Amino acid sequence: MLLERSNLNIFFCIILAALLIFWNYDYIEAHGGVTVFKKQIVGPYEIQFGTSPRSPSPGPIHIALRIVSIDTGLPLDGATVHLSGKTPGFDGNSTSYLEPIFADQFMDDPVFWDVDIIISEEGDWSFKVIIENSGELYEADFDAKVKESSPIVGVFSVIGLILFLTVLALAVRTYFKPKVIT
């Protein structure tokens, strides 16, 4: 009985240690989890545009740009990259806009350029990527639909997690239950 309780304590200590280790990570660098890119060819460059979250909602949005030369496949070097955005109103005028922001080249993989922005409202946003290299300008336009996300998905995720943890706890309890010897 004492040995089984000791095993149970060790098991819970391992789970607690793993949770504390992984709970501490609040900064992950991987192009913000962008997995889907829209592609355009502008001048000598192929520009790919992706957002994280994949379906953006008002608030902070991470934009990753992948820019390579079409001829060589090498990353864009020695250039400046700006990103601006706007959403058209009902009358065609821009109701919200985003001032041009410099994109930062990712040091570990120079084909990627990253921008973190905050979008204030929903709508069909048009983002303009401007590359300035050796006095020449290249522009590409990308569209993204920004809309409020549904809290239902999060609620179902939490319920599913609680059910999974309940089943796991019952399985562990059954495994460590004292064996009756007859």
Q: Is residue 41 part of a domain?
A: yes
Q: Is residue 70 part of a domain?
A: yes
Q: Mean pLDDT throughout 105-116?
A: 87
The answer to whether residue 10 sits within a structural domain is no
Q: Residue 28 falls within a domain, yes or no?
A: no
Position 140 scores a pLDDT of 93
Q: What tokens does 55 get? A: 């379906």
- 133: in domain: yes
What percent of the chain is modeled with pLDDT above 70?
86
Q: What is the pTM of this model?
A: 0.64
Asked if residue 114 is part of any domain, the answer here is yes
Among 33-37, 112-116, 120-124, 153-157, the range scoring the smallest mean pLDDT is 33-37
- Helix (H) or strand (E) holding 166, with range, is helix 151-176
Tell me the CATH number at 83: 2.60.40.1930
Q: Specify the pLDDT at position 92.
A: 60
With cut-offs at 50, 70 and 90, classify the pLDDT of residue 54: confident
Number of domains the chain is built from:
1
- Give the domain range for residue 39: 34-151
Residue 35 · residue 51 · CB < 8 Å: no
- CA 138, 30, 28, 97 dihedral sign is positive
Residue 121, domain member (yes or no) = yes
| pLDDT at residue 173, as a whole number | 86
| pLDDT at residue 128, as a whole number | 93
Residue 174: per-residue pLDDT: 82
Inside any domain, residue 49: yes
Burial of 161 (0-12, 13-18, 19+ CB in 10 A): exposed
pLDDT confidence band for 29 (50 / 70 / 90): very low
